[in-house]
A and B are shown apart, each in its own frame.
Chain A
Amino acid sequence: MAVAAVPTATPVGGDIPRGFTWAVRDCWTEASRHLRALPRNPEVLAFSTIQPVMFVLLFAYVFGGAINVPGYDDYLQFLLPGIFAQTVVFGSTFAAVGLAEDTTRGIADRLRSLPMFGPAVLIGRTFADLIRNVFTFVVMLVVAFLIGFRFEGSLAGALAASLLLLGFAYAFTWVNALLGVSVGSVEAANSASFIWIFPLTFVSSAFVDPRSMPSWLEPIARNNPFTIATNAVRALYNGRPPGADLWLAVAWAVGITVVFAVLASRRFTASTR
């Protein structure tokens, strides 16, 4: 069977839509895949509710009496914003596992072979993760209030703090999205995401004042973007001026989102795998 000359393109119907509205529609279609599935997945729901509740209660009652932080009479007011921050950032790891699952199960290939806006797979995923994180956060906030946590400042400040928390976690969702599309297996994605999230959240001001850490660790903890965000959020919930931390934290969140969204999207849509 000899191969014929290069065929001429045959212009036929079936034009594929391009442009902004189609891209947004594809993102929403992908997001709805996950949002629809969310209530059906008991493990994920449990992880999204029980785990944060447990964290709040464990840390509050185990450490609550033992740790004194300068500047805070009530350790709860210091601790809980840190727990909030850690929990929502932990919540960002779902993206890594979910995308690795899509990849190993062939779903990513199917989606990449469709005439859709490729990055929609990632945007939809991160958006759905954001919604789940809002849910987690609200559950956590309710429990925190039940055990005595209060907004010491203005409601606007508390709202800003909450948005910053969720936005910061969203940024890390993109880091995990990049991991998810880069590693070859679900297990690898799981460990790869926790391997940096644990040090990121513990070597920080989330639970203790970095000044109580060894001198070599302290500067790391102090300059950790997670510390900066936690400090800003903590200040806002407690009615204190967040100072430069607020803008720094916003800058980190935006910067991480932009850089990792571009990297992850490129990686996902590249025809190199």
Chain B
Amino acid sequence: MSITQLPSPAVAAVVAQGLTKRFGTTEALRGVDFEIERGKVLGLLGPNGAGKTTAVRILCTLLKPDAGRAFIDGIDVLADPRRARARIGLTGQFAAVEERLTGFENLQHVGRLFHLRTSEARRRARELLEQFDLVDAADRVARTYSGGMRRRLDIAMSLIGRPSVLFLDEPTTGLDPRSRLGMWDVIDELGRAGTTTLLTTQYLDEADRLADQIVVIDQGTAIARGTADELKRRVGGDLVDVVLADPADGRRAVELLTPRACGQGKVVLGTTTVTVPVDGFAGVVPAVVRDLDQAGIQVVDVGTRRSTLDDVFFALTGRPAQEADDEPSDDHPEAPTSAPETKVEAG
């Protein structure tokens, strides 16, 4: 994936400053800032309705912000959208493939609209079919493709013009688990090849796995940023989950165990599970069990695990991050729904 004539590395490939956008009474973005260093993958992580797609659409010149500025390779996307467009590749939330054309034709078509020479468009198309493991399906119409194949074709299409920045808006939402892992490999590979990427996702493990930097966005505001490890450190790296026999003991258990929590970490209560952030596991499990036992609280199970970004999100917002639903087509939900149980156990 060689990009000719790299602009000065001092300039971030993507700069978003104070992005603000309102739809009627919905404040989709309330002043969001971020930058993407060249060659890095930024994960924009947030639940449904957080404003991820809105941010992507502004950066891709599809939407004008009410306030704020955005730059691609130093090009102001508001002042010079067409030049910015020559630098970007967009893979939107829905696989934007022309179902009536074959994989090869789809690629060639976008290549021509990127104003590649016909021979170059063909050559790139073949190259990308190879890279995205679509050679066998190249001459089949995209209507016959599986969800995972469509997504791969979609990403390939956004790469045909050798963009300097790739936007991937929820690339794995709606994919079955196997295709999802396949997609991770694809994105991983792009990242290792140095493709500057903005990846949005509601899957916390996805950002953890793929992004160099993460910006957590919630209700139009960036609420945290850093590497996955930095974010995890905020809740303590290690967690002890205690499953109680009687959910009614929950409150009391939280009080009892709070002194055991490390640093800024908070003890979190799920339906039947109490999660305690700790600094290393040595001796902790027996201590926790003893505390509860002495208070006459019955414990069904105790487990230890490394904290995930789910825990981070909960710690930051007091709400669980909504695990991505099965509805990939839910573009504009009325409001982010919360499902209190799903989170704490999810590990």
CA distance A11 to B198 in the complex (A): 22
Residue B81 interfacial (CB < 8 Å): yes
* Contact residues on B (Cβ < 8 Å of other chain), bracket: 35 or more
Residue B96 interfacial (CB < 8 Å): yes
CA distance A9 to B80 in the complex (A): 11
Residue B336 interfacial (CB < 8 Å): no
Which of B15, B61, B86, B101 interacts with A4 by CB under 8 Å? B15
Q: Is there an interface contact between B157 and A110, defined as CB atoms closer than 8 Å?
A: yes
Q: Is there an interface contact between A10 and B8, defined as CB atoms closer than 8 Å?
A: yes
- With a cutoff of 8 Å between Cβ atoms, the chain B residues found around residue A109 in the complex are 57, 60, 62, 90, 92, 96
- With a cutoff of 8 Å between Cβ atoms, the chain A residues found around residue B226 in the complex are 1
- With a cutoff of 8 Å between Cβ atoms, the chain A residues found around residue B96 in the complex are 105-107, 109-110
CA distance A113 to B96 in the complex (A): 12
Which of A6, A26, A113 interacts with B61 by CB under 8 Å? A113
Residue A12 interfacial (CB < 8 Å): yes
Q: Is there an interface contact between B90 and A8, defined as CB atoms closer than 8 Å?
A: no
Contact (A16, B35) CB under 8 Å given A6-B69, A41-B100: no
* Interface flags, B1-38, vs A, CB<8A=1, else 0: 00011111001100101000000000000000111000
Residue B98 interfacial (CB < 8 Å): yes
Which of A12, A15, A17, A113 interacts with B88 by CB under 8 Å? A113
CA distance A271 to B61 in the complex (A): 7
B89 CB to nearest A CB, Å: 8
Q: Is there an interface contact between B110 and A114, defined as CB atoms closer than 8 Å?
A: yes
Nearest residue, chain B, Cβ from A120: B113
CA distance A16 to B86 in the complex (A): 7
Which of B73, B97, B112 interacts with A12 by CB under 8 Å? B73
Which of B11, B61, B94, B97 interacts with A10 by CB under 8 Å? B11
CA distance A13 to B87 in the complex (A): 10
Which of B62, B76, B100 interacts with A9 by CB under 8 Å? B76
- With a cutoff of 8 Å between Cβ atoms, the chain A residues found around residue B157 in the complex are 110
CA distance A128 to B13 in the complex (A): 39
Residue B114 interfacial (CB < 8 Å): yes
Residue A37 interfacial (CB < 8 Å): yes
A267 CB to nearest B CB, Å: 14
A167 CB to nearest B CB, Å: 27
Residue A200 interfacial (CB < 8 Å): no
- With a cutoff of 8 Å between Cβ atoms, the chain A residues found around residue B75 in the complex are 9
Q: Is there an interface contact between B76 and A36, defined as CB atoms closer than 8 Å?
A: no
* Contact residues on A (Cβ < 8 Å of other chain), bracket: 35 or more
CA distance A26 to B90 in the complex (A): 19
Contact (A14, B87) CB under 8 Å given A29-B109, A113-B60: yes
Q: Is there an interface contact between B115 and A17, defined as CB atoms closer than 8 Å?
A: yes
Q: Is there an interface contact between A10 and B7, defined as CB atoms closer than 8 Å?
A: yes
Which of A10, A106, A116 interacts with B113 by CB under 8 Å? A116
Residue B247 interfacial (CB < 8 Å): no
- With a cutoff of 8 Å between Cβ atoms, the chain A residues found around residue B88 in the complex are 113
- With a cutoff of 8 Å between Cβ atoms, the chain B residues found around residue A12 in the complex are 5-7, 73
A interface SS class: loop
Q: Is there an interface contact between B33 and A113, defined as CB atoms closer than 8 Å?
A: no
Nearest residue, chain A, Cβ from B71: A7
CA distance A135 to B35 in the complex (A): 53
- With a cutoff of 8 Å between Cβ atoms, the chain B residues found around residue A112 in the complex are 61-62
Residue A215 interfacial (CB < 8 Å): no
* Interface flags, A28-49, vs B, CB<8A=1, else 0: 0110010011001100000000
Nearest residue, chain B, Cβ from A30: B113
Contact (A40, B100) CB under 8 Å given A12-B7, A271-B64: yes
B228 CB to nearest A CB, Å: 15
Nearest residue, chain B, Cβ from A107: B96
Q: Is there an interface contact between A4 and B35, defined as CB atoms closer than 8 Å?
A: yes
Q: Is there an interface contact between B63 and A272, defined as CB atoms closer than 8 Å?
A: yes
- With a cutoff of 8 Å between Cβ atoms, the chain B residues found around residue A22 in the complex are 115
Residue A71 interfacial (CB < 8 Å): no
Q: Is there an interface contact between B100 and A3, defined as CB atoms closer than 8 Å?
A: no
B124 CB to nearest A CB, Å: 14
- With a cutoff of 8 Å between Cβ atoms, the chain B residues found around residue A110 in the complex are 90, 92, 96, 110, 157-158
Q: Is there an interface contact between A40 and B105, defined as CB atoms closer than 8 Å?
A: no
Q: Is there an interface contact between A271 and B81, defined as CB atoms closer than 8 Å?
A: yes
B107 CB to nearest A CB, Å: 12
Q: Is there an interface contact between B85 and A4, defined as CB atoms closer than 8 Å?
A: no
Residue B340 interfacial (CB < 8 Å): no
CA distance A110 to B114 in the complex (A): 11
B121 CB to nearest A CB, Å: 10
24 contacts between A and B (CB under 8 A): A1-B34, A7-B74, A9-B74, A10-B8, A10-B11, A10-B73, A10-B74, A12-B5, A25-B112, A29-B112, A30-B113, A40-B141, A105-B95, A106-B94, A106-B95, A107-B96, A107-B98, A110-B90, A110-B92, A110-B157, A112-B62, A113-B62, A115-B85, A271-B81
